[in-house]
Amino acid sequence: MLFSKKIQIKNFEIGLLFREGDFVEVLEPGTHKFFDPWDKIRVAIHSQRDAFLVDEQLDVIVKSGALAERAEVLDLKQHQRALVWVDGRFDRVLGPGLYAYWTKFRGIHVEAFDAREVRFEHAQLKSIWQNTTARQQLEFYDVNRDCAGVLFIDGRYVETLGPGAYAFWRGVADIKLVENDLRESMLDIRGQDIMTADKVTLRINAVATYKITDAKLAVTASTNVQQSLYREVQLALRSVIGSKELDPLLSAKETVAEELETIVRRRAGDLGLTIVSVGIRDVILPGEMKNLMNQVMEAKKAAEANLIARREEVAAMRSQANTAKMLADSPTLMRLRELEVLEKIAKAGKLNIVLGEKGLADRLTTML
User: How do the domains of the chain map onto residue ranges?
Assistant: 1-86+97-105, 115-182, 185-284, 330-368
Point out the least confidently predicted range of 114-118, 128-132, 138-142, 318-322: 318-322
In this predicted structure, the answer to whether residue 171 has a pLDDT above a threshold of 80 is yes
Amino acid at 335: R
Task: Look at residue 281 and give its three-state secondary structure.
Answer: strand
Task: Look at residue 54 and give its three-state secondary structure.
Answer: coil
**What is the separation, in whole angstroms, between the first and last Cα of the chain?**
163
CA dihedral over 27, 31, 35, 39, signed as positive or negative? positive
139: pLDDT confidence band, cut at 50, 70 and 90?
Answer: very high
Point out the least confidently predicted range of 157-161, 214-218, 345-349: 345-349
| C-beta atoms surrounding 148 within 10 Å | 22
Please indicate, yes or no, whether the overall pTM of this predicted structure exceeds 0.75.
Answer: no
203: pLDDT confidence band, cut at 50, 70 and 90?
Answer: confident
CATH number of this structure's domain 185-284, picked from the four choices 2.40.160.150, 3.30.70.260, 3.30.479.30, 3.20.20.20: 3.30.479.30
Cα atoms in the 13 Å half-sphere on the side-chain side of 254: 0
Task: Look at residue 337 and give its three-state secondary structure.
Answer: helix
Residue bearing the bigger pLDDT, 202 or 141: 141
Residue 70 main-chain phi, psi, to 5 deg:
-110, -35
When mean pLDDT is compared over 2-16, 145-159, 293-307, the highest value belongs to: 145-159
Task: Look at residue 293 and give its three-state secondary structure.
Answer: helix
Task: Look at residue 341 and give its three-state secondary structure.
Answer: helix
313: pLDDT confidence band, cut at 50, 70 and 90?
Answer: confident
Give the containing element (helix H, strand E) for 329: helix 287-329
